[in-house]
Amino acid sequence: MLIEGIKQNRFVIVGRAGIDFFTDAGVAAEDAETVTVGLGGSSANIGVGICKLGGRASLVTRVSDDSVGSYCVGQLKKYGVGTEYVTPVGGEYRNSLAFYESRVEGHRNVIYRNGAADFQMDEADVMAVDYARFGALITAGTVFAADPSRSATFKAFELAKKAGLPIIFDVDYRPYSWPSPHVAEEVLSKAASLSDMIVGNDEEFGFMAGGIDKGLAKARELAKTVAIVIYKMGEEGAITFHEGREIRTGIYPVEALKPTGAGDSFMAGLVTSLAAGHDLETSILRGSACASITVSRPGCAPAMADTATLDTFLADHPGPTAA
């Protein structure tokens, strides 16, 4: 069911869109005289990446009923992401704002999430979705950090499964969004148990397991009941568990401009490559190439690779590191 759903190359994505401010290359925050604005937010980034790579995606979220919310909706439309399930919310709720530096050494990334508009997504929002239009549901862990968004996303899982859609879950643990580590561990573990594909890094799996040294064992345990589990290890590549196999893959080294956006780009490259008929190992490597492209360019959504950029990168790069 998982691969068949992905091959439809049409995804419903549950989660946030935000606005990003980022400095010029190499400039620290305190030295910045100008910043560039771009679309951000993990789920929005994934949607943008999918659309740039030839897939189709619609976002389910809430945005603030103000100029920043309008900006996010306008940017989603510019990139081709469906906004038919994006609903404005009034009052004091605001879209998330990320301010980060376009540098690796000493990189700082501040995210403002007070009164976040996307956390106001409720069950009515996800019940309005026509799941039959899509092949798979994707979400990132931030959406579970608060109610009503948490309950709404679990409801979306239920409705998607009834419609025959597989669930793709990017753990995406952000401590600042959660009321406590204990709540996060419990909720993210529940979401993982309901998923058909799980993507996370070693720290995220370690968090769910109660210690980073236990993360790999946690991934192996989840793989007994989850079709595909991808355990990312940064510069050391990834280990993918599928049908009793462990697939080890490297990365595409580049001169990084900043560390942000890599995971979102990886997800977009992975699922669109599977949709295009590439085998799992090749798709993981193409996702890794997308991540490398994104960290080498400014911004998040603006830095996502399109098909031509990915093809050129793969043709020109000497190849991935050894697994």
| Containing structural domain, residue 207 | 2-316
For residue 323, is it within any domain? no
CA atoms within 13 A on the CB side of 19: 20
Is residue 250 one of the residues assigned to a domain? yes
Give the span between the Cα atoms of 118 and 15, in whole angstroms: 7
Number of domains the chain is built from: 1
Task: Please check whether residue 176 lies inside any domain of the structure.
Answer: yes
Residue 36 has, within 13 A of its CA and on its CB side, a CA count of 17
Half-sphere exposure of 237 (CA within 13 A, CB side): 18
In this structure, is residue 217 part of a structural domain?
Answer: yes
Q: Is residue 298 part of a domain?
A: yes
> Is 321 a domain residue?
no
| Among the listed residues 19, 14, 262, 2, the one whose alpha carbon sits nearest the alpha carbon of residue 144 | 14
Give 257's contacts (C-beta < 8 A, 6+ positions apart). Answer: 25, 102, 103, 104, 295, 296, 297, 298
Residue with tokens 């929005």: 44
Tens of pLDDT along the chain (323 residues)?
899 999 999 999 999 999 999 999 999 999 999 999 999 999 999 999 999 999 999 999 999 999 999 999 999 999 999 999 999 999 999 999 999 999 999 999 999 999 999 999 999 999 999 999 999 999 999 999 999 999 999 999 999 999 999 999 999 998 888 999 999 999 999 999 999 999 999 999 999 988 889 999 999 999 999 999 999 999 999 999 999 999 999 999 999 999 999 999 999 999 999 999 999 999 999 999 999 999 999 999 999 999 999 999 999 999 999 98
Q: Judging by beta carbons within 10 Å of its beta carbon (0-12, 13-18, 19+), is residue 30 exposed, middle or buried? A: exposed
CATH number of the domain within which 234 lies: 3.40.1190.20
Residue 116 gets the label, from left (phi > 0), alpha (psi -120 to 50) or beta, of beta
